[in-house]
């Protein structure tokens, strides 16, 4: 069956150091027909973005080594990557931190635990731009 106007072949890079959160994101996104790649660090994510094309990035903010805000700034500085949608996922969206995350250049922010419908809705919205 040919997919028409579906998310089939749409690719998502999940930058998340928690294996349980990686698995949950993968289940949710694959159920929607996305092709999902997970990496454990911002550094790995940046390396992959140089060699593979992704339609959207789900970026954890609290990561070992480089955090998600710094990784987002680096992506926004790269001319060939600057327009890729980035959706931040964080458990630490306290006042002040939220503004700092948005200022890093993300296109949206969801707090963990992530609501499945809200996540899919945000992704569809960002991909429709």
Residue 2 lies in a domain: no
Q: Total domain count for the chain? A: 1
The lowest-confidence range among 51-60, 63-72, 81-90, 95-104 is: 95-104
pLDDT attached to residue 8: 65
Task: Provide the 10 A C-beta neighbour count for residue 79.
Answer: 7
pTM strictly above 0.85 = yes
- From residue 77, alpha-carbon distances to 45, 46, 60, 70, 91 in Å are 15, 12, 19, 11, 26
Establish if 110 belongs to a structural domain: yes
CATH number, domain of 67, equals: 3.40.50.2300
> Which residue range forms the structural domain that includes residue 22?
11-127
Q: 22 vs 46, 56, 93, 98, 106, CA distance in Å?
A: 17, 15, 19, 22, 19
pLDDT > 90 in the chain, percent: 83
**pLDDT score for 6:** 52
Residue-level pLDDT at 1: 34
Q: What is the mean pLDDT of residues 53-76?
A: 97
């Amino acid at each position: 069956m040919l997919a028409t106007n579906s998310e089939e072949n749409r690719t998502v890079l999940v930058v998340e150091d928690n294996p349980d959160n990686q698995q949950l994101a993968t289940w949710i996104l694959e159920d929607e027909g996305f092709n999902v790649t997970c990496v454990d660090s911002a550094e790995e994510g940046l390396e992959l973005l140089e060699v593979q094309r992704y339609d959207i990035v789900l970026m954890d903010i609290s990561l070992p080594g480089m955090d998600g805000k710094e990784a987002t700034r680096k992506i926004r500085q790269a001319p060939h990557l600057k327009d890729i949608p980035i959706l931040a996922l964080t458990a630490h969206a306290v006042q002040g931190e939220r503004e700092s995350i948005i200022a890093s250049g993300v296109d949206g922010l969801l707090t963990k635990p992530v609501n499945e419908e809200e996540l899919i809705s945000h992704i569809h919205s960002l991909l429709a731009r």
